[in-house]
């Protein structure tokens, strides 16, 4: 059975690109008779806000998306579905990587500003065998240039465990999807390198289910200036206007953008 998920982050209000991805994911699972999960990624606890969390559920209702499993609302999310309730599981994955024979995984004291232009640690942390210390060091993985399943692998020393003692998105996402038995993921083309890194990481954990996941990357909606829509770029400082007309426009975009990757309205 096809199992997929919608995985918004409550770090800002959702924008039209998020709505498009939700629709495409919903169409994929319903056309295959599969299961749709809601996985709200509150890894970045410092940016999460109650209003952003509530916006996720309002947007799903507006788009008419029915979820098969996951939180039913903000209160249910906080009590049973927050990533903080699964922190021990993420720590287990972290410790497995640190205790394995992966010399590419190392503790690093450097901030991202201390890395060289290629994203590499230049302070020799990898050779020092440092202990992981919350507040002063992070866990990184050194990744070579290459590809995973034909997707471009961005070289560099990528963070797996943050210095604030929380999982970085790449590690948390792979572990969460593996535990949820996800078999398919619909993402924007801006996440091609992220997908490649996660596949690479899945081979080390190991996460055999994620290694086999069906990844489909769709074209993006552009902002008026031609750049991609994103929360970090201020694409949605306010909630979407949840009107019927805008919903129909999103569905029209989804039909055009989904067709090339094999996602059609059921």
Model confidence over 40-70: pLDDT tens digits?
Answer: 999 888 888 999 999 999 999 999 999 999 9
Regions of the chain where pLDDT drops below 70: 223-237
161 within 8 A of 168, measured Cβ to Cβ: yes
Note the pLDDT of residue 229: 55
Query: What is the 3 state secondary structure string of 47-103?
Result: CCCHHHHHHHHHHHHHHCCCCCECCCCHHHHHHHHCHHHHHHHHHHHHHHHHHCCCC
- Residue 30 CA to residue 266 CA, distance in Å, equals 7
Note the pLDDT of residue 102: 81
**Model-wide pTM > 0.95:** no
Q: Which two tokens stand for residue 29?
A: 């699972």
Note the pLDDT of residue 226: 55
Domains and CATH numbers, the chain: 3-261 (3.40.50.620)
Sign of the CA dihedral running 43, 49, 52, 56: positive
Distances from the Cα of 198 to the Cαs of 39, 40, 141, 245, 265, in angstroms?
A: 17, 18, 11, 37, 28
- Residue 187 CA to residue 90 CA, distance in Å, equals 23
- Residue 13 CA to residue 234 CA, distance in Å, equals 10
Residue recorded with tokens 């800002």: 12
Note the pLDDT of residue 238: 85
Model confidence over 101-114: pLDDT tens digits?
Answer: 888 999 999 998 89
Note the pLDDT of residue 100: 78
Note the pLDDT of residue 101: 80
Q: Which two tokens stand for residue 64?
A: 């008419």
Measure CA 112 to chain center: 20
């Amino acid at each position: 059975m096809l199992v997929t998920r919608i995985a918004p982050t409550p770090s800002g209000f959702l924008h039209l690109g998020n709505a498009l991805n939700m629709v495409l994911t919903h169409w994929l699972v319903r056309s295959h008779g599969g299961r749709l999960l809601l996985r709200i990624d509150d890894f970045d606890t410092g940016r999460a806000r109650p209003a952003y969390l509530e916006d996720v559920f309002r947007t799903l209702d507006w788009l008419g998306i029915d979820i098969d499993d996951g939180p039913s609302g903000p209160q249910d999310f906080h009590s049973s579905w927050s990533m903080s309730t699964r922190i021990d599981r993420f720590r287990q994955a972290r410790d497995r990587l640190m205790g394995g024979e992966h010399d590419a995984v190392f503790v690093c004291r450097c901030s991202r500003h201390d890395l060289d232009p290629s994203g590499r640690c230049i302070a020799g942390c990898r050779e020092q065998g440092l202990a992981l210390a919350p507040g002063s060091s992070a866990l990184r993985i050194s990744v070579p240039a290459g590809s995973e399943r034909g997707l471009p692998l961005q070289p560099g020393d990528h963070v797996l465990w943050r210095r604030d003692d929380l999982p970085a998105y790449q590690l948390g996402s792979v572990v969460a999807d593996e535990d949820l038995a996800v078999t398919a993921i619909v993402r924007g083309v801006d996440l091609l390198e992220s997908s490649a890194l996660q596949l690479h990481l899945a081979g080390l954990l190991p996460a055999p289910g994620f290694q086999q996941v069906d990844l489909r990357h769709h074209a993006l909606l552009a902002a008026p200036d031609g750049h991609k829509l994103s929360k970090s770029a201020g694409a949605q400082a306010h909630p979407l206007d949840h009107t019927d007309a805008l919903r129909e426009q999103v569905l029209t975009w989804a039909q055009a953008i989904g067709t090339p990757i094999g996602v059609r309205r059921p």
